[in-house]
Amino acid sequence: MRHAGEDYQHIQDSKMNIPEDEPVFLLRAQDKCAWETVLHWANLVEEKGGDPKSATKARRQAEKMREWEPQKLPDM
């Protein structure tokens, strides 16, 4: 798996069956933009007929992210 930011490469376990060259994007709760992005993703999942349980889990996670402190504008 390939993160856009090279310094994030070590964060995720490479045994997750994600191809080595597949791009991934990691959002952290400290990123002020993250919770809204996750919420938008959940809405898209439902709009496109995806698993409603996945959307519900994502919304719960987005709420936890929204409440996280401290937050800052993202960097890459």
Q: Could you tell me which residue, 1 or 36, shows the higher pLDDT?
A: 36
Band of the pLDDT at 10, cuts 50, 70, 90?
low
Note the pLDDT of residue 15. 67
CA torsion 38→41→43→48, rounded to 10°? -160
Q: What is the mean pLDDT of residues 33-50?
A: 98
Q: What percent of the chain has pLDDT over 70?
A: 78
Split at pLDDT 50, 70, 90, the class of 26 is: confident
